Amino acid sequence: MGGWEVKRTAHPADRTFGGTARAADCAFGAGRANSYTEAWTKGDLDSRRIVERLGLRAMVESRIKPYGEQVAEQERRAAQRRAFVRNQTIGLVILAAAICLWWLFHTNPKWIFPPGWWRL
């Protein structure tokens, strides 16, 4: 028979994971080796130990948020985005004005103000 066959053994990690079946306890049927599964599990356990030792947390929340909280976050992000775009636009206008002023003061004045320009 193919598929997963679970064989339960006493293992020190059972205390850590609440007695659930670990990937290392499972083996492929039909004569396939489970060395890949054991190597993957060892790496997974090592990374979990490192995370626990360093006291790191997940980057995303695993809980389901209430609808009101989701809407409040979306509104806050939208307001933040509007402020960012507004400030970015103001900065670009100031940069354009600075370039125009630099060009105005560093070009030949006779090109901008030809003789008799005030009599238009």
21-57 per-position pLDDT tens digit: 555 555 544 445 555 555 555 556 667 777 777 777 7
Exposed e or buried b per residue across 79-92, where buried means at least 16 C-beta atoms within 10 angstroms of its C-beta: eeeeeeeeeeeeee
Per the rule left: phi > 0, alpha: psi between -120 and 50, beta: everything else, 18 is left
Q: What is the pLDDT of residue 66?
A: 92
Pairing of strands 26-28, 4-6: antiparallel
pTM: 0.43
Query: Mean pLDDT across the chain, nearest whole number?
Result: 74
Alpha-carbon distance of 47 to 51, in angstroms, equals 6
- Higher pLDDT, residue 90 or 61: 90
d(CA 71, CA 87): 24
